[in-house]
A = this chain, B = another copy of it.
């Protein structure tokens, strides 16, 4: 295992120390293991909390800041955050207007966020609404999931719902925006290589030279099929076609097209992929209204990528364009 880490059991704690030092505009509570906007709670604003296993950086802590999340609770690597973390994050961002939980659809995450919401309601009466993201068209059920897995749409939902919250909209509306993003978004990913959970010390799965996995999950969960390595053009087809088959993206104002790197894939390859994805969408009559190219929801050092499309109306596009200032996404301020 070749990694820039100290003790494999301290990776998350060490990375959070680095985040706190690099981003003094965030408040990192190392005991409670939460990352919070320094001006939280913002009175009268709906609080946005997300979280999940670590190993997907910059998601979620890198999305904490103005116009996006109010707090993130990172679990151990590829392990759900515990309810206590989620409770602490929820209470830290409760500005009196309720709190939205954005939860990726993994059984442990859903369960722990639910438990935390009940604890918070019992303790302080804070209203919590969860929105579960389940956008991965690759497989119906999976290793850690009943139903579809939550992947790339999570990034878009956090940005767009974050903008809605920043505008002062009430909890029901912010939750509705997040749900609309989930309903209108689809993703599919692939891997060229496996990844190694530090505490395990060996690759999560084996992927021989010359093969790739289509439909991979962000924890290395099995995908749809294993095929010989192919040109980017064909990889793009294998990812985009199932997405287009799942939802009518051609109607409407256009899509936000998001080509995401899995952690070990360099930007030059993501731009090659984006060109191929854009060509397929053009051929399919799907206009691209906005795009995002980069490594935003990763799987440790896995090489590979995912494609996410979000069918966006004018309102979602305006919320996408709204100012955001986080470590990983920043524009307009």
Q: Which residues of A in the span 1-55 have a Cβ within 8 Å of any Cβ on B?
A: 2-7, 11-12, 14-19, 21-22, 54-55
B57 close to A2 (CB less than 8 A): no
> Is B271 a contact partner of A305 (Cβ separation < 8 A)?
no
A139 sits at the interface (CB 8 A): no
Residues of chain A from 257 to 315 with CB closer than 8 A to chain B in the complex: 263-276, 278, 288, 291, 293, 295, 298, 300-301, 303-305
Interface size of A by CB at 8 A reads: 60
Interface-side segment among A141-149, A150-158, A164-172, A229-237: A229-237
* Chain B proximity of A286: nearest CB distance (Å): 13
- Cβ-based interface call for A90 (8 A): no
Give the 5 A-B CB pairs with smallest separation, nearest first.
Answer: A18-B271, A18-B275, A263-B266, A4-B269, A18-B274
Docked complex Cα distance between A12 and B212 (Å): 23
Q: Smallest CB-CB separation from A305: which chain B residue?
A: B4
Query: Which residues of chain B are within 8 angstroms of A331 by Cβ–Cβ distance?
Result: 325, 330, 333
Say whether A22 contacts B291, CB under 8 Å: yes
A192 interface residue per 8 A CB criterion:
yes
- Tell me if A223 counts as interface (CB < 8 A to partner B): no
Decide yes or no: A231 and B22 within 8 Å by CB, A298-B267, A331-B330 being known contacts.
no
Q: Taking the complex as formed, is A193 at the interface, i.e. its CB lies under 8 A from any CB of chain B?
A: yes
Smallest CB–CB gap between A223 and chain B, Å? Answer: 16
Identical copies of this chain, number: 2
List chain B residues, Cβ under 8 A from A5: 231-232, 269, 272
Q: How far, in angstroms, from A233 to B235 measured CA to CA in the complex?
A: 39
Seen from chain A, the residues whose Cβ lies within 8 Å of a Cβ on chain B are: 2-7, 11-12, 14-19, 21-22, 54-55, 57-58, 62, 192-193, 209, 212, 229, 231-233, 235, 263-276, 278, 288, 291, 293, 295, 298, 300-301, 303-305, 325, 330-333
Cα distance A300–B3 in the bound complex, in angstroms: 17
Closest approach, in angstroms, between the C-beta of A300 and any C-beta of chain B?
6
The CA of A55 and the CA of B303, in the complex, are separated in Å by 16
Nearest B residue to A235, CB-CB: B4
Count chain B CB atoms within 10 A of each CB in A21, A269, A271 and give the residue with the most.
A271
> Which chain B positions have C-beta within 8 A of A12?
268
Given known A-B contacts A301-B303, A330-B330, A268 and B2 have beta carbons under 8 A apart:
no
Give the docked Cα–Cα distance between A31 and B170 (Å). 52
Closest approach, in angstroms, between the C-beta of A21 and any C-beta of chain B? 5
Q: List 20 A-B contacts (CB under 8 A).
A: A4-B270, A4-B273, A5-B232, A7-B231, A11-B268, A12-B268, A14-B271, A14-B272, A15-B268, A18-B275, A21-B275, A21-B278, A22-B278, A55-B268, A264-B303, A265-B301, A266-B298, A266-B300, A269-B301, A325-B331
